[in-house]
Amino acid sequence: MSAIDNPTTASAREAAPPRPLWQVIVIRPETMTLVLLILALLGASLLSPYFLDVRYILDSFTLSAEFAMVALVLTMVIIAGEIDLSPAANMALSACLFAYAQQAGIPIPIAILIGLVAGLVMGAINGLMVIRLQIPSIIVTIGTLTLYRGIAQVIAGDKSIRVPDWFTGINNVLVAGLPVPVIIFVVMSVVLGLVLGTTIFGRQIYQIGTNEVAARHAGIRSQRIKMGLFLLMGLVSAVAGMITSSRLGSVRYDLGLGGELQMVLMAMLGGTYIFGGRGTILGTFLAAWLLVIVSTGMTVANVLPAVQLVVLGVLLVVSIIATNAIYSRTQR
Amino acid sequence: MNALRHILLRREAGILVMIALFCLAVGAAKPQFLTLDSLRIILLLTPLIMIGAMGQMLVIVARHVDLSIGSMLGFSAMVTGMMFKFYPEIWWPIGFLVSIGIGAMLGLVNGVLVTLFRLPAIIVTLGTLNLYRGLTYIVSNAKQIDRQFVPSALKSMSQTSPVFGIPWIIFISLGVALLTYYFVMHTRVGRQIFALGSNPAAAPLRGIAVTRVTLLVFTISGALSGLAGILYASRWGFVNPSNTGAGFEFQVIAAVVIGGVSINGGVGTVLGTVLGVLLLGCVAAALPLLGIPGTTQNAIYGAVILVALLIDRTVRRQGIASLSARARA
């Protein structure tokens, strides 16, 4: 044991001392999101005394609930080391197909089924190109983003398609005082949070994102899991598309236009690491509320939509920088 | 014979064949497609995309991507348009300097975010895509710059020139392509972009100033978007805060990937990119002739991107396969 005789070598080989427990708990991106959330709440309520109204916040949350649902799945996709920029276009196309089908006289349940299957197919196309053909997901989903919305434009033209009256207004239906989209979002957060945080499947997603080659050698079916994530992405996007069409009462090809920014922003603000392997559903859950409060706060304060766009862009960049900084600190 | 084989085996030959087949097929259905008039239409459709594609090609060769070019185009066009509107006494060619300078600054911001904070370009430029678009609304107060404010000398650049009446903007775009060719083939920095893109880990070991090259690439992409911005004002005669440059990035990326620029970096030629732009122009010119509504354009761009990706991947596979076959022989 010459290493012990030589103190310099020994200390060099020794593992770094474990960080104190409070640091492990406190210094993490989700804390940043939570602090920002509280600050945003304080700031918004200072701007307008009417802001701190639970009803009003819940109502405004229904406007982004669809994006928030997709952002939850997107978080898992990013943790697995991939990205998907096409879900907003997917929402538009599946909603257009659904609306077109029901307008053509197909019974509503079948029309909904058509929309959902279309969403799955779109997810499968992304997955096949990324996994089977080994093309980077970033560029594949830029292509499919253009393609899906383009097809929606072909189907719907420049007109908007109305959906039947009884189908509209899902955001006004209350269950136990909560709008239905909010309930769906919360339930999805809990389920996906448990899957990602407590199951073997969830740990495997993290392992794939950290080091896919190592994960495959450890016997993880990384291709199958990633394919599953892309399929889930497609399905949830289609559901979100239906909910949006119910909320708006009509469908146009530009439904959810630019939504990919908000979804990526929610995931990034929640501390998901853009290079994969780190992130939590809790973070994205908090970030979704943060984003809603920031944007409704700005609306209440009469900030122009254009300025809001700028704020969102800045937030995205700042949140990635902050997340990277936190992770590079805790890695050492 | 060997020389001919060599030419035919090149990637660009495939695109040329695709253009020829496409034109013949459309010409068979609508003979008026194969006339000088439609050549003029095609050439007028392409200059902006050509200029944007040169910048995007450099960025993609360096293994990044720039999604914000449409917004950079819109912002620099808007600022230049406002200069024309509120300071009509300024000599109008100064507008070129203003537009290109502003574009270069916006591009530099992208570059700084990518290099200094080590962020993936796709996320940064997705953010700045929205950021710059928002800034365009803010500076313009969401108001359009109307036709009467754009100098007529600038507008006539898109209609004619002393040389055979071929519009100036076509010459400008060809000039940009030639300059880019010289830059990537005959300057040291130009070659370094390729070295950086084909192996980012090896580049610093070979003494390449990675940060500086990356900054330069993003700045060029921004400057060329700025140039495209003032040419947009010249071509269409107005600048609109929401429409100008919207979706430009997808057309340009489509053109670049059709042109054989590999999204894995390090591979791409100016000639290929020019041919990719022309193919896109032929498709865009053929649609109205064939009675296909303009709403299908986006779907076609998307499909074209995906098909080009498939081709790129197949070529890459076969390239490696043939290399290893040669090694075994």
pLDDT tens, residue by residue, A160-201: 888 877 777 777 777 777 888 889 999 999 999 999 989 999
**Is A154's CB within 8 Å of B299's CB?**
yes
Going by pLDDT thresholds of 50, 70 and 90, the confidence category of residue A1 is very low
pLDDT digits (tens, 9 = 90+) for A61-90: 888 889 999 999 999 999 998 889 899 999
Rounded to whole angstroms, the Cα distance separating B29 from A151 reads 25
pLDDT tens-digit readout, A203-213: 999 999 888 88
Mean pLDDT across B5-31: 77
**Upper half-sphere CA count for residue B155 (Cβ side, 13 Å):** 13
**Residue of A146, A295, A311 to mutate for B, most B C-beta atoms under 10 A:** A146
Average pLDDT, chain B: 84
* Over residues B43-72, mean pLDDT: 91
Longest C-alpha distance within chain B, in Å? Answer: 72
Among A96, A139, A316, A323, pick the best mutation site for testing chain B contact (most B Cβ within 10 A): A139
Q: What is the pLDDT of residue B5?
A: 63
For chain B, what is the domain count? 1
Which CATH number covers residue B124?
1.10.3470
pLDDT class of A3 with cuts at 50, 70, 90: very low
> Between chain A and chain B, how many beta carbons pairs sit less than 8 Å apart?
138
The predicted structure's pLDDT at residue A2? 44
Nearest CB neighbour to A149, from listed B117, B129, B298: B298
| Angstroms from A320 CA to nearest CA on chain B | 8
Residue A232's pLDDT is 94
Asked whether residue B3 is assigned to any structural domain, the reply reads no
Reading the block at residue B166, the tokens are 């071929």
Q: Which residues pair with A162 in a beta bridge?
A: A250
Cβ of residue A313 closer than 8 Å to a chain B Cβ? yes
Task: Please tell me the predicted confidence (pLDDT) of residue A7.
Answer: 47
- B101 in a domain, yes or no? yes
ipTM score of the complex?
Answer: 0.74
Beta bridge partners of B145: B239
Of all helices (H) and strands (E), which one includes residue B182?
helix B168-186
At B3, is the pLDDT very low, low, confident or very high (cuts 50, 70, 90)?
Answer: low
Q: Is A8 exposed, middle or buried (0-12, 13-18, 19+ CB in 10 A)?
A: exposed
Q: How far is B98 from chain A (nearest CA, A)?
A: 22
Pick the CATH number of A27-331 from 1.10.3470, 3.30.43, 3.10.450, 1.10.1060: 1.10.3470
CB contact under 8 A, B119 and A320: yes
- The predicted pLDDT at position B36 comes to 77
Residues of A in contact with B263 (CB under 8 A): 135-136, 139
Q: Which of A185-189, A300-304, B88-92 has the lowest mean pLDDT?
A: A300-304
Burial class of B257 by CB neighbour count within 10 A (0 to 12, 13 to 18, 19+):
buried
Task: Answer yes or no: do B123 and A144 touch at CB < 8 A.
Answer: no
Under 8 Å between Cβ of B229 and B51: no
Per the domain annotation, does B164 fall within a domain? Answer: yes
What's residue A14's pLDDT? 61
Is residue B93 a contact partner of residue B230, using CB atoms and an 8 Å limit?
no
Q: Is residue B183 domain-resident? A: yes
**Is A72 touching B (CB cutoff 8 A)?**
no
* Domain coordinates in residue numbering, chain A: 27-331
Decide if B184 is inside a domain: yes
Q: Is the pLDDT reported for residue A246 higher than 70?
A: yes
Report d(CA A14, CA A57) in Å as an integer.
Answer: 51
Residue B17 included in any domain: no
Cα–Cα nearest to A287, from A262, A321, A308, A257: A262
What is the domain extent for residue B42?
36-289+296-311
Task: Tell me the nearest-neighbour CA distance from B200 into chain A, angstroms.
Answer: 17
Q: Is the CB of residue B307 less than 8 Å from the CB of residue B76? A: no
Q: Do B130 and A320 touch (CB under 8 A)?
A: no
Short-list B242, B124, B125, B129, CA closest to A254: B242
pLDDT exceeds 90 at position B50: yes
Of chain A, the percentage scoring pLDDT greater than 70 comes to 92
Of B129, B132, B250, nearest to A146 by CB-CB distance is: B250
